[in-house]
Chain A
Amino acid sequence: MEQMNSQDASVTEPMLKVEGISKRFGGVQALQDVDLQVDTGEHVALVGDNGAGKSTLVKILTGAEHADDGSFWFAGEERHFRSPLEARRHGIETVYQTLALADHLDVVANLFLGRERYLLRLGPFSVLNRAAMKTEARALLERTGVQIPDLGAMIMGMSGGQRQGVAIARAAGWGSKMIVLDEPTAALGVQETAKVEEIIHTLKDQGVTVLMVSHNLRQVFDLVDTIWVLRHGRMVGARKAAEVRPQEIVSMITGADDASGLEFA
């Protein structure tokens, strides 16, 4: 709960502010006039049924899709990301469901993929600074609470939870301003899920802003400050996780029992 107070101080400028985003695919209105706000240091979950528009919204925010209408501000600036790379350059790191790890490279190489440290810069023949990367990797994993016994081991032989840990640690490094997690535990077992949730908790303690897409309501209530609910492409509302009962979120998602939702609003 102390976290909540620290947030109030920074409430003046949200990390992400989305206004009136709309997106149409052919005859399908995927998103209609959607608003969203993520404060600095806040952990936010985006929930909704399949086809509610979660993925589309996340893709627009991370540069993989473009909105037909509406705009968003990130870190105080209005942005129109043309590619995931551009979003990354401005501080939005995405952990994809596929994780985007190179199986044949070791943990250190994956953490630094595309952002290697060099001893000597000679274009494509630049000489890697392997010692520096190993040291930094160890510090990064420690900071994010990701436990990997052997930094020199290939990703190929690792469990799903370890892979997810590496992908999250990579996103958390590099001075990113916000991390987008797309179904971070969808493919994991119970124990692995617990480990990954611990890592997300650690990010909270360090003030890293997180926007997470999840189907798992138990997890959402455990991990985030605010829950935003999408239904049929419209943002139905936002609730503080500490002040709302799961039943209300469920009815917001399904639209089955709007009356019971209003009682708590």
Chain B
Amino acid sequence: MSSSAGRPDGRTGDFGKQPGAAAVGGPWGLVRRRLADVISQVAALGALLVIFVLLSLLSPNFLTYNNLSEVVVEAAVTAIIAIGMTLVIVTAGIDLSVGGIAALAGVLGAMLMVDAHLSWPLATVVGVLIGGAAGLVNGGLVGWVKLAPFIATLGMMGVARGLTFVSTGAVAVYGLPVGFNVLGQGYAGPIPIPAICLIGVIVIFGFIFTRTKLGRYSYAIGSNHEAARLMGIPASRYLVLVYVLQGLLAGFGGMIAASRVSSGQPNFGVGLELDAIAAAVIGGASLFGGQGTVSGAIIGAFLIQFIRNGSVLLNVNIYWQDVIIGLVVWIAVSWDQFRRQRITERAHVT
């Protein structure tokens, strides 16, 4: 996260140092245009830093190792799923089923350990793959049956949640092997394992977003589906793959969450899709497609977690958290629209 945070920061610094460069023209204009590309993230990052500083000042407990590692662990699951959500949103899609898929993967993974006595690493992998299978159904409905992503995943939201309750009889699955606890509760030195999982996902998906065919095609499909098709991109196949990846991440998030509470909770992840969508959108992803980054999703997920954590520390009524997050989503999207209007207007002037 520090690398994504450092980049826009450094640029702002350069501006302050060389105001004379404006007169030279060329490089100034280029930097300004590039800055416009990241400006919504800069805004979100700014908000994140402001909240961080405010909470540090207002609560003595905020800037402690225990609290911050708690924040990171809490944010990890949301952030992992928000990264997948961002990829889906980049293709002009949406996935409402991530909470249900995470719960389904969590309880089925837990049942495999408890009832089928599968070793916990194997059960974890199977749990992740169950998420991937649910994602494949989503992807098939979107890419091949051509259902609107909202409808396809709304259906899966019900199906996955329903299967979760059917398979558990609506009772949490307890008695998981102690070794499994390491995924959600363990530490590598001072760093919580969920944070390491998150960093792994950031590295892999950062690469996928910016350096691979899949990333490039996702942006192309979301930006102009017809153009992508005319240029010979097999859009349906790539859409299926995008939803599969999102399913895998939801399954992974579900397994981490199960490990955190040492049980498979059928109620886990209700409303998780809204946090993931909010995180992606706060981080600059556009629901119209073609726009969104991994670093933005991370910033958004941590912004949401800081708000939740700060509300607890400052004894704010717990129900105000969602109100604040809703406001932040409004502000982030309005800002993004305003910025996009400016870019289009500039194009018409020149």
Contacts and interface: CB of A to CB of B under 8 A. Distances in A.
A114 B233 CA distance: 6
Contacts of B226: 98, 100
Contacts of B232: 85, 88, 114-115
A150 B33 contact: yes
A157 interface: yes
A116 B34 contact: no
Interface in A109-135: 109, 113-116, 118, 122-128, 130
A189 to B, nearest CB: 11
A84 B223 contact: no
Given A88-B232, A114-B233, A126 B213 contact: yes
Nearest to B292: A104
A236 interface: no
A105 interface: yes
Contact of B213 (A96, A102, A118, A150): A118
Instruction: Categorize the interface residue count of chain B.
Output: 35 or more
Given A125-B212, A127-B211, A113 B233 contact: yes
Contacts of A104: 219, 222-223, 289-291
Contacts of B208: 125
A127 B223 contact: no
B220 A102 contact: yes
B350 A159 contact: yes
Contact of B212 (A99, A102, A114, A124): A124
B214 A102 contact: no
B134 to A, nearest CB: 20
A176 to B, nearest CB: 13
B26 to A, nearest CB: 8
Contact of B344 (A99, A102, A127, A156): A156
Contacts, number: 97
A78 interface: no
Contacts of A128: 211-213, 216
Contacts of B346: 157
B219 to A, nearest CB: 6
A70 B4 CA distance: 60
- From B219, B223, B348, name the one whose CB has the most chain A CB atoms within 10 angstroms: B223
B314 interface: no
Contacts of B350: 159
A101 B237 CA distance: 20
B231 interface: yes
Given A114-B232, A124-B214, A153 B223 contact: no
Given A150-B30, A150-B33, A100 B230 contact: yes
A149 B232 CA distance: 28
A105 B233 CA distance: 15
A103 interface: yes
A114 B231 contact: yes
Given A85-B230, A102-B219, A130-B211, 11 more contacts: A101-B227, A102-B224, A105-B216, A105-B219, A105-B223, A109-B216, A115-B232, A123-B213, A127-B212, A128-B213, A156-B343
13 contacts: A100-B230, A102-B290, A103-B224, A104-B219, A105-B219, A109-B219, A113-B231, A115-B232, A124-B212, A124-B214, A128-B212, A150-B30, A159-B348
The 3 closest A-B pairs by CB, nearest first: A104-B290, A114-B231, A100-B227
Interface of A: 84-85, 88, 96, 98-105, 109, 113-116, 118, 122-128, 130, 149-150, 152-154, 156-159
